[in-house]
């Protein structure tokens, strides 16, 4: 695989907003392990190899298990995830596949059982942001395998 565009090829401030959003998410009141799980699931759906590499390594670093990460693609059929995580994973899938699935009342109600309105907004921002990164990296053909934990901190 040959990378089409490198991040060094981009206008200087093009990604500043995304990095600022990332800093907000990292410092939000949503547990980093949960965010890692959602980033990983969205990246699976989008088939973004670079993001899968990065979010897998970050998740392990934050204490996630290999078993749960391998099982997240089939989270509905595993006992590894609690109801809070299941609500967030269902939301992540619906928002990532927004052209195929609506954020229906059942999905939203499940979120309301575990998250405040501000946290739900933060989850929406997190999922939207990882989807943007997935699309950039797929377009650029960013080569996976070289990410080091905390590289973009």
Residues 124-153: pLDDT tens digits?
999 999 999 999 999 999 999 889 898 877
CA atoms of 21 and 39, how far apart (whole Å): 14
| 112: pLDDT strictly greater than 90 | yes
Q: How confident is the model at residue 21 (pLDDT cuts 50, 70, 90)?
A: very high
Q: Are 105 and 87 in contact (CB under 8 A)?
A: no
All structural domains of the chain with their residue ranges: 16-140
End-to-end CA, the chain: 26
pLDDT digits (tens, 9 = 90+) for 56-102: 999 999 999 999 999 999 999 999 999 999 999 999 999 999 877 78
CATH number of 16-140: 1.20.1290.10
The pLDDT assigned to 145 comes to 87
The pLDDT assigned to 102 comes to 87
* Number of neighbouring beta carbons within 10 Å of residue 27: 9
pTM: predicted TM-score of the whole model, two decimal places: 0.93
C-alpha 143: how far from its chain's center?
Answer: 18
């Amino acid at each position: 695989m040959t990378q089409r565009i490198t991040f060094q090829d981009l206008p200087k401030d093009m990604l500043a907003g995304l990095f600022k959003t990332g800093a907000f998410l990292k410092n939000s009141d949503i547990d980093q392990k949960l965010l890692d799980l959602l980033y990983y699931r969205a990246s699976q759906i989008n088939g973004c190899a670079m993001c899968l590499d990065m979010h897998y390594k970050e998740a392990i670093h934050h204490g996630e298990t290999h078993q749960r990460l391998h099982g997240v693609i089939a989270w509905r059929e595993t006992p590894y995830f609690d109801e809070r995580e299941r609500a967030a994973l269902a939301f992540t899938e619906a928002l990532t596949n927004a052209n195929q699935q609506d954020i229906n009342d059942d999905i939203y109600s499940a979120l309301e059982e575990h998250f405040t309105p501000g946290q739900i907004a933060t989850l929406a921002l997190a999922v939207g942001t990882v989807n943007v990164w997935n699309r950039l990296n797929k377009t650029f053909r960013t080569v996976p395998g070289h990410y080091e934990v905390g590289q973009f901190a």
